[in-house]
Homo-oligomer: A and B are copies of this chain.
Amino acid sequence: MNRLQRALDTLVERVDTPAPIVLVDVMQDNIDRMQSFADQHGLHVRPHVKTHKCVEIGRRQLKAGAVGITAGNVGEAEVFAAAGFDDIFLAYPIWPAGTKGARLRKLTESTRLRVGVDNVAAIEALADAMGGEPDRLQVLIEVDCGARRSGAPPEIAGDLALAARRRGLVPVGVFTYPGHGGAGRDARRRAARDQEAALVTAVRGLTGVGVTAEVVSAGSTPTVEFTGSGVITEIRPGEYVFGDLNNSRLGACTDDQIALFVAATVVSEWVPDQVIVDAGTKALSREGSPERGYGGIAGTKAVLAKLNEYHGFLALPAGEYRPSVGSVVPVVPNHICPVVLNFEELIVTDSTGTSLQRWPVDARGFLS
C-alpha cells in the first residue's frame, strides 16, 4: 500500500485518470517467480498474452525464460508475430472462416504456429485453409477436464490426432484448461488433479495411435502451484503477471504481488457513505457482483459497490476512510484481463515512483 501511495503521489500531476498504473518491479518479480517455479519443476512457461496484450511485457516474459507465448485469437497472434515473436500457441479451437484461413497461413511464414482443435470439422476446415501446405500448421488437441467449455472428451484425443495427421496437419500434443476450480486452495488442487488426469488419458490416446505428445499444455495462474512432476510439459498462466483481487481471494497471489491498479479521481461526494470516482465500466469492465463489489481501494476495505459507464460508486459505510473530491485513489480490479484492454497504454512506474514510461497495449481491439 505504501508503495502504491508513493507511486500515485509522484504521478498525479502527470497522469490523467482513470489510468492503469503498473509497478514494474512488482510485475518483474511476478514474472521471475513464475519462471523459477517452472524451472524447478521442469516445466516450460508459455504465458498467455490475453492479460497484458503488450509486446514489451511479452518480451520480458521471454527474456525471463518463457519458450513462447499463448494467444487467444488470430489478431493477438498477428500483433505479436509482427513484433518478432516466433513461437505462438493459439490456445483456442479456431474456426478458419472469413479471412482467418489466409491469416493463419500468413502467420506460419514468420512464426512456429500451433493452434487448438477439438473436433473433426475444424480439422478439415484448417487443413483446407492451409491449401497445399497443411504441414506448416501444428495442432494441439484440446480436451475437457471439467470446465465443460471447449475441448473433446480426453478418450477421443487420439482419434482427433489421427484425423489431423491424415489431413497433413502436424499433431504435437494436447492441452486443457482447468477453469472449474472455484474458490479456495482445495478446489484449485482438485481442478489441477482433474487436469492432470485428463491430460494423462489424452496423452495415452495419442500414443495409442502412434502420435508423440511432445507438448502437454496446462493452464492457469490459479492452478499452477499444483502443477509439476507429472505428464504436463508446459504451463500457460496469464494473470500472474499483474495479479488481481480474484487471484488474491483464491490464494493465487498476495495483495503485495498485485502489480496493476487503476488510478481514479473522486469527482462527487453528495451521497452519504459514498463518493463517486471516475472509473466505471469503461475503465474497469463489469467484473464482480453486487455482493462482492467491482474492485477495491488498495490498503482499505472500501469497495466499488456499483458501476455505471463513467461513474464508480465507492461505498464508504465505515466512515473511517473518506477521500474528498479531487483525491486520487488506487482501485484494485477484481479481474485484471478485461481492464487492460480498455486502455490505449499502461502507465509504468516502480515502487520508488521515480520512473515513468508508457507502454502501448498493442493487441487491444484485435478480437478476431
Contacts known (A308-B179, A342-B341); A150 close to B268, Cβ less than 8 A = yes
Number of interface residues of A (CB under 8 A): 71
Given A118-B268, A149-B276, A150-B267, do A99 and B14 touch, yes or no (CB 8 Å)?
yes
Whether B99 contacts A310 by the Cβ 8 Å rule is no
Most chain B CB atoms below 10 A, which of A17, A266, A310: A310
Question: Closest CB of chain B to A163's CB: distance in Å?
Answer: 14
**A175-227 contacts to B (CB < 8 Å):** 179
The yes or no answer to A92 lying at the interface (CB within 8 A) is: yes
- List A126-161 residues whose CB lies under 8 Å from chain B: 142, 144, 148-153
Contact A14 B308, CB 8 Å, known A92-B267, A326-B121, A338-B282:
no
Question: Does A50 sit within 8 A of B, measured CB to CB?
Answer: yes
Which residues from B are CB-within-8-Å of A95? Answer: 265-267, 278, 325-326
Contact of A341 among B50, B282, B287 (CB under 8 A): B282
How many subunits of this chain does the assembly comprise?
2
Q: Is A125 located at the chain interface by the 8 A CB criterion?
A: yes
Beta-carbon contacts under 8 Å, A18-40 to B: 18-19
A337 to B309, CA, bound (A): 8
Nearest B residue (CB) for A152: B270
Partner-binding segment picked from A59-67, A251-259, A360-368: A360-368
In this assembly, does A82 line the interface, its C-beta being within 8 Å of a C-beta of chain B? no
A313 to chain B, nearest CB (A): 7
Among B97, B308, B313, B366, the residue within 8 A (CB) of A265 is B97
Task: Answer whether residue A93 sits at the interface, using C-beta atoms and an 8 A cutoff.
Answer: yes
Give which listed residue, B103, B142, B325, B367, contacts A18 with CB less than 8 A. Answer: B367
Cβ B338 vs Cβ A366 within 8 A: no
Most buried by B among A72, A74, A337, A367: A367
